[in-house]
């Protein structure tokens, strides 16, 4: 392998060592290695094996300065996904920025549940409430090609990102700028529409739980999409459940990502709205993070 730039002095091995020297104490060795892999693949199109086999290859001065600036941002615990401007979700590449939450593995599990339940259907209508980056809506549209998918969010900036991601992944989604807490604000009147599936990963972290949130999330991801007041933590679940009572088709399904500490309370809320067959499901870490219910 030829040097990437013969004017450079720092080698790939040097760069890897610099990442670990400056960041291991903050992020841990394993996560820092994942940063190295992501950064070198994104900026130099190198795989981890290239770093091992060609560690003495030099990098250009401009790239060296770029990587040092990335290290400085990682020192401030800025998410690597925001630094690179992209992430992967359910095998799809998505654009992300500080207007949107970074998609999580447990959300992939929720999406997988919906796909498994509906992949046999010829026609289906889906509404994703609080779409953010569009990860849920886009993945469902990609894996359920017969679905008509709508996606709602209160943030215009988030919807701009979601629309870009829909184009990137070549799916057709109708986006709606609205707050589910103020249904009259919708630019598209969904109050008269009926859906087979309503899904949401709404804000559910109580402000009292903020001390347990990692700095990379707390200091960089949008609080609008994260937090709810301590005295009304299920405010979005109430509004969405009330909407679903009127806008789900008979025997339609509602799916939620939930606060792991409020599974029982969320299930009771769905019961109050007379949903049936309510199922709490654990994620791969053994925490109750998902819920499904059927309209009676």
Domain of residue 124 covers 98-295
Is residue 58 located within the same domain as residue 151? no
* Residue 54 confidence class, pLDDT cut points 50, 70, 90: confident
Mean pLDDT across 152-171: 97
Is residue 168 located within the same domain as residue 284? yes
Q: Look at residue 222 and tell me if it is in a domain.
A: yes
Judge contact between 116 and 105, C-beta under 8 A.
no
The percent of residues in the chain predicted with pLDDT above 90, rounded, is 88
**Which residue numbers belong to the known binding site for S-adenosyl-L-methionine?**
130-134, 153, 201
The residues with which 124 forms a beta bridge, in sequence order, are 147
Q: Look at residue 192 and tell me if it is in a domain.
A: yes
**Which residue numbers belong to the known binding site for substrate?**
201-204
Judge contact between 23 and 39, C-beta under 8 A.
no
Is residue 149 located within the same domain as residue 276? yes
**Which residue numbers belong to the known binding site?**
130-134, 153, 201-204
Judge contact between 195 and 127, C-beta under 8 A.
yes
Number of folded domains that form the chain: 2
Is residue 61 located within the same domain as residue 153? no
Is residue 151 located within the same domain as residue 184? yes
Predicted pLDDT of residue 163: 98
Mean pLDDT across 93-116: 97
Is residue 108 located within the same domain as residue 227? yes
Structure tokens at 64: 């060296």
Judge contact between 127 and 190, C-beta under 8 A.
yes
Give residue-wise pLDDT tens across range 14-43.
999 999 999 999 999 999 999 999 999 999
Q: Look at residue 62 and tell me if it is in a domain.
A: yes
The yes-or-no verdict on residue 7 having pLDDT over 80 is no
The yes-or-no verdict on residue 67 having pLDDT over 50 is yes
* Residue 192 confidence class, pLDDT cut points 50, 70, 90: confident
The yes-or-no verdict on residue 127 having pLDDT over 90 is yes
The secondary structure of residue 76, as a DSSP letter, is: T
Is residue 71 located within the same domain as residue 105? no
Judge contact between 100 and 224, C-beta under 8 A.
no
- Cβ neighbours for 16, distance < 8 A, ≥ 6 positions apart: 36, 51, 55
């Amino acid at each position: 392998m030829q040097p990437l730039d013969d004017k450079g002095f720092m080698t790939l091995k040097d760069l890897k060592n610099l990442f670990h020297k400056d960041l291991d104490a903050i992020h841990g060795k394993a996560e820092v290695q994942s940063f190295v892999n992501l950064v070198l693949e994104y900026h130099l199109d190198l795989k981890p094996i290239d770093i091992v086999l060609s560690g003495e290859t030099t990098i250009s001065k401009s790239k060296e300065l770029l990587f040092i600036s990335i290290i400085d941002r990682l020192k401030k615990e800025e998410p690597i996904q925001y630094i690179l401007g992209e992430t992967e979700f359910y095998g799809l590449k998505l654009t992300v920025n500080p207007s949107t939450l970074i998609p999580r593995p447990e959300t992939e599990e929720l999406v997988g549940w919906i796909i498994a339940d509906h992949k046999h259907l010829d026609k289906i209508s889906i509404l994703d409430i609080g779409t953010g980056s569009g990860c849920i809506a886009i993945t469902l549209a990609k894996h359920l090609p017969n679905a008509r998918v709508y996606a709602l969010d209160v943030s215009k900036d988030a919807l701009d990102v979601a629309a870009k991601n829909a184009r990137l992944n070549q799916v057709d989604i109708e986006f709606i700028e609205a707050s589910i807490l103020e249904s009259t604000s919708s630019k598209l009147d969904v109050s008269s529409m009926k859906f087979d599936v309503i899904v949401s990963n709404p804000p559910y972290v109580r402000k009292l739980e903020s001390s347990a949130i990692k700095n990379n999330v707390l200091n960089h991801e949008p609080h609008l999409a994260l937090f709810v007041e301590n005295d009304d933590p299920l405010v979005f679940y109430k509004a969405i459940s009330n909407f679903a009572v009127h806008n789900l088709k008979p025997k339609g399904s509602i799916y939620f990502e939930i606060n792991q500490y409020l599974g029982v309370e969320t299930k009771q809320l769905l019961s109050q709205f007379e949903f049936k067959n309510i199922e709490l499901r654990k994620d791969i870490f053994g925490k109750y993070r998902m819920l499904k219910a059927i309209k009676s």
